[in-house]
Structure 1
Amino acid sequence: MITTHFNDEQLAILKTFDSNLNPKHISALFEKSELTSQELVQLLQASNALYRAGTPVLTDQQYDLYTSMLRELNHLHPFLNQVEPEVLAEAKTVELPQRMLSTEKAYTVADIEKWLKRILKAADEINVSEDEIELRVTPKLDGYAAYDDGTKLYTRGDGYRGQDITRAIERGLKIAENGRRGLGPGEIVIKKSYFDQVLSDIFENSRNIQAAIIAEKKMDENVQKAIDEGACVFYPFALLKNTTDHFKTIIDNFDTIVEAMWKAVDFDIDGVILEATHPEIKAHMGATRRNHRWQIAFKVNEDSAQVEVVNVIPQTSRTGRISPVAELIPTKLSGATISRVTVHHYNMVKTNGVGPGAIVQIVRSGLVIPKIEQVIKKAEPQIPSECPSCKSHLLWESDHLICPNKSDCPAQTENTLVHFFKTLGNNDGFGPKVIEKLSNYGVKHIHEIYAKKVHNFKGYGFGDKTSQNLFDQLKASREVEVEDWRFLSAFGVSRLGGGNCEKLLQHHEITQLFELSAEDMVKIDGFAQLSAEAIVEGLANIKTEFFKVYELGFNLAQTPKASEQNNKASEIAGAVIVFTGSMQQGARGDMEKQAKSLGAKVAKSVTGKTTYLVTGEKVGETKINAAKDKGVQVLTEQEYLDLIG
């Protein structure tokens, strides 16, 4: 538990970041021992905003702890798939010339070896010899992420859109190592020796200075002096001191290389970065929305202890996953008293004998949330047969126990409603705060929300204008066209995301899916027996609610049947297409839908597997040239329309 109270400067930053934010509510979250996923996201967003503004309330390790807690509650939460934004609340955002992502983290050599296996697997898939695989190791600078295209300097923002901070260059900010402009991503940093000798009595930490360099307000004279004397610089990653060698050499000398990197620069660092250098491997592995798969950050610090398990408590997350929490005899570890630790999943409980009396070795890596490293002494595993929230029969899904009761499980109800409106994507009014308020008044089902009138919302404490807007948006969400696969996916059936919904609806009408058996489903390419069984049971659980909502008369666009697609001769069948920029002859979403109906696959980012990059207006040359370098054919909007006839 961390106790914090915001000072006047921090309160002002939070208000600027989000005028609806209640600082007292956020402050109280730091003092709670258990947090919901929504509360964790609020705490993380506020902490990130303060950190970027130069007034941090958490250390990196504490921030990672809360992130790990969110991952344990809901590993699929959208926040975990976003880049933590570099925010300047008062500035407008612009599209970055190139995506800037966060970096996957590792705290043990074993984690690095797992990552390396993925590199080797990717190399094998594209026939790259192991002799060609090199790794580049650099210091991981602890600064303010930015991107320099030679003309402008941008913050990282959310990885896609940042803010123009070219004023920092105009104030005299130099490129490290006497480098030239335009070298892409890097960090704004200040020399440790200079900070310690000159500024440590004036500023609490170097983050205050990094924020001051790029702020729109008048420059602090001490920071301006640091810029003028070359102590503050923009350090492009391309110029970082590094060790680049064959991957076996890097692993064999890992400790020595890490130690050398730690001393390589006179700047704060919080780890080292390892990345594959082979361009084909990088293109093949690509990236998630948050991280490049070919890159990883290694952080150092680890402490462990052997502890006796007292009890294993099941907890239902808002996604229906049952998380086993081991209660321990309280033990000191890395300066903290540890009395509970989340076991990874219930298959680990079952196969490793985690129950009362078991002796486990717990590890606290990087001073973040502790985890069970191994079971020293087994006991009778403690496994629940029913959901602790709603008493429903539990299902095994791979390594996890799942509560399939999406509609009536108290632990899942609120998340189910949030998921529905977020996935449907045509209704901005029913976000988490509105849903939370409705849930507090006993609203549990989607169809109940659609039955509400203006006076109902007023009765729940919403204002006159808000109540009318909520009612109008519900009406509009039934009238605006939405894909049938998206509508089905919005009900949150386990293993039935958008892709699988689309596959099913290519073969069956949406109302027929509830009559399918697992055997019917496995006949469709892409469905295994266990997945099919889980989907059939999940559909049975939502059937009543589905038809109550379906019969409200949504405007559903039907997914083209596979037989229809096969009968269409299409120039883009089987192609992988990325659309970018502002389209003039139709909405980009409509073009993506049409491309899918013609048998193409639509992606969001360009990789070596992309066939066409279709460009609208306002697309930077950097993006176009990067696509051409990967061998991707670049088409204008009109050239694409001519291609498909």
Structure 2
Amino acid sequence: MLTASQHQLIQQANLTFDQLSTERFYSLIDSQQLLSAYSDAELVKFLQIVNALYRGGEPIISDADYDGVYLAELKRRNPEHEYLFSVEPEPLIAGKTVDLPQRMLSTEKAYSRDEVERWIERIEKAAIELNKSADEIRYRITPKLDGFAAYDDTQRFYTRGDGRKGTDISRVFARGLQLANQQQRIAGPGEIVVKRSYFNQHLADSFDNPRNFVASVIKEKDLDTHAQLAITEQAAIFYPFASLPSWEGDKQTLLQVYESIDINDWADFDYDIDGVVLEIVDAEIKAYMGATRHHHRWQLAYKKNLDTAEVVVFAITPQTSRSGRITPVAELEPVRLSGALLSRATAHHYRMVLDKGIGPGALIRLARSGEVIPKIEAVLRPAEPQIPNHCPSCAHELVWDSDYLLCPNTLSCPAQISNTMEHFFRILKNNDGFGAATIKKLYEYGIRRVDEIYQLTAEQFESMGFGPKQSSNLVEQLVRSRSESVEDWRFLAAFGVFRMGLGNCEKLLSHYALTDIFSLNEADIIRLEGFAEKTAAVITEGFAAIKPLFDSLMALGFTLQSTQNLRIENAHVLAGKTLVFTGTLQSGTRDELTKQAKACGAKVGSSVSAKTDYLVIGENVGANKLQAATEKGVQIISEQDFLQLLSSEISH
């Protein structure tokens, strides 16, 4: 049961149990095997609540389970879900909420060598594109602190908040908080931590864990004796990331040492860590790779997960995905791994099943590497595989497509149709109530397309077995979905065209209007950065397939925000320019100014590179971006200069 203080943390985070009852919340903690019975909305609500408890120092599940079980399940179901691209917010702290001087992102996590090697491949590709030698890339490893993320600009001190806005907690320095190793304050991010030895000796009887104690240092208006003493004795400190102990070397050495580096490799490092952070040193490659909405592409957090088990396969169950691919799922004798009772494992595709002999009676080594459905690491004793001939959803004959078995019955396969309709509402995100259960019932009553759903009345919903109140709510949500403003790239991504996730949709629509994409040929798409020849062929074919549904939905009157930059002769003075914002902005949030700049045809980056045209500076600017702009010859302008450009007449 949740304690009073845990309930308080949930309330402070403005969270409720509206989409997830407390009973189902407790059930999911007790039995992870129930995950498949929970909707995406319930899973996201669960993640939000347990994250708020963890950030507030009152965790109810382990960090490993959060990453490796529940968050991994959301990634498996919906890799493009917005929650995966948002920075996990720190708990609300008493104080003034302000824009952070620098955006504080999360760190992408890896649990296996394959993930680390794929990350290195992306870095080497970026280096080659910059005409740099991949062999000369230097890598750095630092400990991943397990504390409370914060940002110091040397004048004010902030919580990380949601990565964009934090809370001013400068009072913590006024209380006497020092930096690690008694150094002077430097601008940049870091973590508030407490010495492990001090916590074990003086605080373990009063606090459940170090995070719980650190949260008390920040939250309490009047510090208790424990917190004040820890600050006075410099056991509780702020550790800037720039000052962390580190290892540096080339790729080959990195691959030899990163798995073995742990807290013992830094003998004097007396703070809790939960992994290591890998990153590159080269500033130009960093700037070129940039960041997603969630994490820097040039950085990776590696967490060990070495649990394996040998288990017997009972059967292979085929499942039909939205794309028609048949996914083989191995049903196993139940085994406990990393604290979870597991009975299924992914076999990725049927070529793997065939080649490795994964069938009833096979003995496999199971590894849980941050995935809810763990992977098969090795087949120790092969068996005769079971290869289906027909789709488990529609019974249509299957065909081979490279390594995959495919159901070609795209127009009549129940699983493909239902998953496609559910995907549309899930990606659009401006509606409630159209999860798997609702879509399944609609399918049973003959609904086969999303546009058919939007034309249903409350009476029709009732005739299908929905209650009067639920029917009325569903109609209201459909009206909301059409009237509530939504980005055009999100609308396009909801159609589920292969290779057109949220990122690629936004990239494409920054060059072409939404209504013009159906006339694009492969050459038009290939010309855009990030789109390969094979990808372009798949995309144009996909656009042709969704055109009838697209036209039908557009006729219903959706309210779309355009991100397209018209390339017309009379363009705005900012059209085609690349901007980077830095410092605290006064005329609006960074998001608001970014939207205004994009509306004029500008591109907005997160870091200064040789391609940047303007560095727009606000107040409390850090030295790094200014130095980078000076070195690369980037024009530095004030926020007022930017506003004048924004309001300029179009050029001729």
User: TM-score, normalising length from structure 2?
Assistant: 0.79
Q: Report if aligned partners of 1:310, 1:326 keep a CA contact under 8 Å in 2.
A: yes
Q: 1:447: how far off?
A: 3.4
Residue by residue over 1:214-238, the C-alpha shift from the partner in whole angstroms, topping out at 9 and shown as x without a partner, is 1155433222222222111111112
- Name the structure 1 match of 2:426: 418
The structural deviation recorded for 1:173 is 1.7
Name which of structure 1's ranges 620-629 and 161-170 shifts more when overlaid on structure 2: 620-629
CA contact (8 A) 2:176 2:231 kept: yes
**In the alignment, is residue 20 of structure 1 matched against residue 16 of structure 2?**
yes
More divergent stretch after superposition (486-495 vs 149-158): 486-495
More deviation, 399-408/6-15? 399-408
Alignment match of 1:633 (pick from 635, 641, 650) = 635
1: distance between equivalents of 2:134 and 2:257? Answer: 18
For 1:165, what is the secondary structure of its paired residue? Answer: coil
Query: Which ranges in structure 2 are unaligned for 5 or more consecutive residues?
Result: none
Aligned to 2:185: 181
* Cα deviation, residue 558, structure 1: 8.8
Counterpart amino acid of 1:120? E
Q: Distance in 1 between matches of 2:46 and 2:522?
A: 43
Structure 1 contact 578–610 (Cα < 8 Å) conserved: no
Provide Cα deviations, 1:366-412, integer angstroms capped at 9, x if missing partner.
Answer: 79863222344555554556654566787888866677569973344
Assess if the C-alpha contact under 8 Å between 1:190 and 1:206 holds in 2.
yes
Matches within 5 A, 1:118-129: 118-129=122-133
Residue 461 of structure 1: aligned partner: 469
Equivalent-residue separation in structure 2 for 1:149 and 1:167 (angstroms): 14
The one-letter amino acid paired with 2:6 is Q
CA contact (8 A) 2:456 2:475 kept: no
Amino acid at match of 2:607: V
Corresponding position: 1:59 with 2:55: no
- Which residue of 1 is the match for residue 2 of structure 2? 6
The alpha-carbon distance between structure 1 residues 309 and 46, as it changes in their structure 2 partners (threshold 3 A), is same
1:324 aligns with 2:328: yes
Distance 1:531 1:306, change over 3 A: same
Q: Name the CA shift for 1:52/1:568 in 2 (closer, same or farther; >3 Å).
A: same
Name the amino acid aligned to 2:183: G
Q: Map 1:598-637 to 2 at 5 A.
A: 602-608=603-609, 610-613=611-614, 615=616, 621-622=621-622, 625=626, 628=629, 631=632, 632-635=634-637, 636-637=642-643
> Is this contact kept in 2: 1:94–1:162, CA < 8 A?
yes
Instruction: Give how far 1:528 is off.
Output: 6.4
Q: AA paired with 2:226?
A: N
Partner SS state of residue 621, structure 1: coil
Q: Which residue, out of 239, 244, 249, partners 2:248?
A: 244
**1:18 Cα deviation (Å)?**
3.1
1:96 to 86, 95, 100: 100
Please state how far the C-alpha of 1:611 moved relative to its aligned partner. 2.3
1:224 matched to 2:223? The reply is no
Matched, 1:211 2:210: no
Q: CA deviation at 1:298?
A: 2.8
Worse-superposed segment, 218-227 or 176-185: 218-227
Letter in 2 for 1:625: L
TM-aligned CA distance change 1:542 to 1:286, over 3 Å: closer
Q: What is the Cα deviation at residue 55 of structure 1?
A: 0.9
Equivalent runs, 1:448-597 vs 2, <5 Å: 448=452, 450-451=454-455, 460-461=468-469, 473=480, 476-477=483-484, 487-497=491-501, 499=504, 510=515, 513=518, 521-526=521-526, 531=535, 534-535=538-539, 538-539=542-543, 542-554=546-558, 565=567, 575-578=577-580, 582=587, 589=595, 591-595=597-601
Between the aligned partners of 2:509 and 2:628, the Cα distance in structure 1 is 33
Matched position secondary structure for 1:314:
strand
Q: Against the structure 1 CA distance between its residues 240 and 323, is the aligned structure 2 distance closer, same or farther, given a 3 Å change threshold?
A: same
Partner in structure 2 of residue 426 of structure 1: none
In structure 1, what is the Cα distance between the partners aligned to 2:135 and 2:517?
Answer: 53
| 1:300-342 CA distance string (max 9 Å, x none) | 3413344333322233567876543211234454565543112
Q: Kindly indicate whether the alpha-carbon contact (under 8 Å) linking 1:93 and 1:163 is maintained by their aligned counterparts in 2.
A: yes
Task: Give, in angstroms, the shift of residue 536 of structure 1.
Answer: 6.1
| Counterpart in the other structure of 1:85 | 89
Bigger shift: 176-185 or 384-393? 384-393
Identity of aligned residues (%): 41
Q: Residue type of the partner of 2:235?
A: A
Task: State the match for 2:49 in structure 1.
Answer: 46
Question: 1:2-58 CA distances to partner (integer Å, 9 max, x unpaired)?
Answer: xxx322322232233235324334223324523243333222211110011111011
**Is residue 363 from structure 1 mapped to residue 367 from structure 2 by the alignment?**
yes
Letter in 2 for 1:418: R
Specify whether residues 552 and 91 from structure 1 end up closer, same or farther in structure 2 by C-alpha distance, changes over 3 A only. Answer: same
Gap change, CA 1:273 and 1:569, over 3 Å in 2: closer
* CA-to-aligned-CA distance 1:102-122 (integer Å, 9 cap, x gap): 223334455444433443343
SS at structure 1 position matched to 2:313: strand
Determine the C-alpha separation between the residues in 2 that align with 1:634 and 1:152.
24
Deviates more, 1:187-196 or 1:327-336: 327-336
Q: Is the 8 A contact 2:143 2:275 kept in 1?
A: yes
Measured in 2, the distance between the counterparts of 1:607 and 1:392 equals 53
* Farther-moved stretch of structure 1 (292-301 vs 146-155): 292-301
Q: In structure 2, what is the equivalent of residue 295 of structure 1?
A: 299
Computed over aligned residues only, the root mean square deviation of the Cα atoms, in angstroms, reads: 4.4
What secondary structure, in the 3-state scheme, does the structure 2 residue paired with 1:312 have?
A: strand
Q: Partner letter of residue 147 of structure 1?
A: Y
Q: Distance in 2 between matches of 1:175 and 1:552?
A: 58
Q: Structure 2: how far apart are the matches of 1:509 and 1:286? A: 26
Aligned residue pair count: 615
2:243 is matched by which residue type in structure 1?
L
Q: Distance in 1 between matches of 2:370 and 2:511?
A: 47
Q: 1:471-527 CA distances to partner (integer Å, 9 max, x unpaired)?
A: 8745645xx7975x66544433323456469859978994994xx8xxx84343427
The one-letter amino acid paired with 1:98 is: Q
- 1:614–1:634: 8 Å Cα contact kept in structure 2? yes
Once the 2 structures are TM-superposed, how far is the Cα of residue 590 of structure 1 from its aligned partner?
5.4
Task: Provide the secondary structure at the position in 1 that maps to 2:368.
Answer: strand
Letter in 1 for 2:347: V
Q: Cα distance 1:320–1:587, how it changes in 2: closer, same or farther (>3 A)?
A: farther
C-alpha contact 2:357 2:383 (8 A) present in aligned 1? yes
1:427 corresponding residue in structure 2: none
CA spacing shift, 1:130–1:216, aligned 2, 3 Å: same
> Which secondary structure state, in structure 2, belongs to the residue aligned with residue 360 of structure 1?
strand
Counterpart secondary structure, 2:332:
strand
Q: Equivalent residue for 1:431? A: 431
Of the structure 1 ranges 10-19 and 65-74, higher mean CA displacement relative to structure 2 is found in 10-19
Gaps of 5+ in 1: 423-429
Q: Contact conserved, 1:320 with 1:412, CA < 8 A, in 2?
A: no
Distance 1:160 1:505 in 2: 23
Whole-angstrom distance in 1 between the partners of 2:486 and 2:254 = 54
Deviation of 1:551 (Å):
2.4
Q: TM-score, normalised by structure 1?
A: 0.80
CA deviation map 1:97-141 (0-9, x unaligned): 112222233344554444334433433332334675333222221
Given that 1:139 and 1:261 are in contact with CA atoms closer than 8 Å, whether structure 2 keeps it comes out as no
Q: Kindly tell me: are residues 108 and 188 of structure 1, through their superposed partners in 2, closer, same or farther at Cα, counting changes over 3 Å?
A: same
What is the one-letter code of the residue matched to 2:7? L
Segment drifting more, 230-239 vs 152-161: 152-161
Distance 1:267 1:74, change over 3 A: same
Whether the aligned pair in 2 keeps the contact of 1:607 and 1:630 (CA below 8 Å) is no
Give 1:265 deviation, angstroms: 0.8
